[in-house]
Chain A
């Protein structure tokens, strides 16, 4: 019996276990410090509306990172596609049909931006980091050219329900997040594409010589990442009930931090949905705890950077020890 438990613990990813314990620890500490404010239903609901926004972007970042690249343009894609959705919805007059059309357009724009990234990375062999950094500028600039600065408001009634509404007390955005988590997990574990992608991330040259079409895999990866960006963008704009180019500016660093914290290898090849999901929740708990304790929001930037560095250093030291053994 004891052996069984032991082997089970060894089998469950150590990183995920640590994240899980960390999450519980935050819950306990905050429950003791501020039981009223932290454990209140409104706070937990508020968290439920917030974390899917960047959580979905994290999945895009994770896919790009597993394939051996990185996607820094996600926030740009998110804002551009939500702006296009807003423009379409306003033009079509604000019926339910227009909302659906707007969302479809946003997904198309996201996919298009992703394919553009993928083309530059996979075909022209420009490093992903540079392409997506430029992409961020390009997509933000395009969004700015459309909005001319101010936010687009007056979105049709009902659009704000996408992020702010709920079924049986569960916010819609959480449901979207869970569905996407399952889809991405399925893609990674049970499809040929997912396995080919992680092979490519581990060793690009070896995957090329073993007959994997690297260009195709890169294009698909960044397209999915772009679509995820667009979904994140719709949730963000639905949450604020408006669309603007500089929403979610801090999310780029945050998604990178979460993905690395969630056990994704920055050099490519490794990563799992469960780890990233746990990391998303832990980060949201920390963020919420900071708000309740009324800590200056700039401290958050500082702490996030610190967590990012510490996680990577600890992982690296553990890895080095394993290699030596």
Chain B
């Protein structure tokens, strides 16, 4: 009994949670404005799209791969769709998501063929796809930014779940788009925990050959993962466009680094086979907290890249040392 309690207190999720609590206390002590409900709203707005990306990245990493093409896919599909929408004058949210999703699936299929069928290294294959998608967006679709989103689609960015007013009288509103990552998280949690498919993802991440011999169809599972990743990347891109009320061909580029960091800090092992939804959420919260509040603590802007990098190195270092420790400890 005591043993299991102790185990629960030293899991990776717990360590990340302690870090978050300590960090919030430090930020709050240095700047009391942090302890306000509005912080939750600002943070969840900042985390929203990262969460969508982090969930797909987590599933891909659990399966033993990696995907760095999602920002490019997200940009391409949301930007291409908004161009179609503006040219044809279609003002429909469902259409926006569906067409972008289809484009995302197309790139997902490309990734799936390269990685699952031809067995190319996932990092290099997705880097290539990323370059193709990003180059195609900028070269063939243009570099202009559009802020004239049609009114019906735009209305989604102005629908809120609830609002609160802080002491200075500024109204903070929780956007209803936050429901997308929440629903996604629940679905992925159930998928990973309670379906044969989900257990198969862990199995092929742990040992591909063992999984194949155990009867999992490795190619099919990998294909579905990368196609799903492409689709969800597009969903993330569309959500970002609506949230920012602006379509840009490359404002998401470069976010892959942060997302991978968040996933790994959350305890997902980059070598595959391990990872939980809760850990990923905590990892995203931690990274978002660091990114958004370094200024509140008084760290100047030009030091931020370094500090974020340091935190990632420490986070991954701790995860790896723990993994090494577990591997070396006595097996029962």
Contact = CB atoms under 8 A, between A and B. Distances in A.
Contact of A308 (B66, B127, B316, B324): B127
Contacts of B132: 302, 305-306, 309
Interface string B289-332: 00000000000001111111110110011001101100000000
A124 B318 CA distance: 9
B118 A313 contact: yes
A114 to B, nearest CB: 15
B306 A305 contact: no
Interface in B128-152: 128-136, 138-140, 143
Contacts, number: 133
B308 A141 contact: yes
Contact of B313 (A134, A267, A317): A134
A260 interface: yes
A289 B66 CA distance: 34
A144 B299 CA distance: 13
B317 A305 contact: no
Contacts of B306: 138, 141-142, 144-145
A253 B127 contact: yes
A296 interface: yes
A120 B315 CA distance: 12
Interface in B263-309: 264, 270-271, 302-309
A134 B271 contact: no
B131 A144 contact: no
Given A125-B324, A134-B316, A267-B121, A141 B135 contact: no
Interface residues of A, number: 46
A130 B303 contact: no
Given A70-B123, A141-B308, A316-B120, A130 B129 contact: no
B123 A301 contact: no
Given A125-B323, A127-B270, A137-B309, 16 more contacts: A124-B321, A126-B320, A130-B264, A131-B313, A133-B257, A136-B257, A138-B306, A141-B305, A148-B302, A256-B127, A302-B135, A302-B136, A305-B129, A305-B132, A308-B128, A317-B118
Report the 5 A-B pairs with minimum CB-CB distance, sorted nearest first. Answer: A302-B135, A305-B131, A141-B306, A301-B135, A141-B305
